Amino acid sequence: MFTTPTAPVAGSRVDNLVLATAIVRHAEALLAAAGNSPRALAHIEAAFDAALEITPLSCAAEVRAANEHLLAAEAELARGIRPAV
């Protein structure tokens, strides 16, 4: 399982770009696992869009919004994995 990047602390403007890159990489990994889950794909697409909007001057809320889409996609994927009965 991947760890979700956290918002930058008191930071360097470069932190936002590092976080945006981590979000894109995480979304790419989730995309490979999403298969035919339309809800997961929608959240992954939203995470990509949000990450691409992050700039060095973005606030932590913008980074958090992208992370929330990743968490929602992970939840959708976990919901789709059910043990055989």
33-52 pLDDT, tens digit per residue, is 888 889 999 999 999 999 99
For residue 19, give every residue at least 6 positions away whose Cβ sits within 8 Å of its Cβ, in sequence order, or none: 5, 6, 7, 8, 54, 63
Quote the radius of gyration of the chain (alpha carbons, Å).
14
Name the pTM for this structure.
Answer: 0.77
Spans of all domains in the chain: 13-80
Any idea which residue has 């399982």 for tokens? 1
- Residue 85 clears pLDDT 60, i.e. is over it: no
Best CA proximity match to 23, nearest among 46, 42, 40: 46
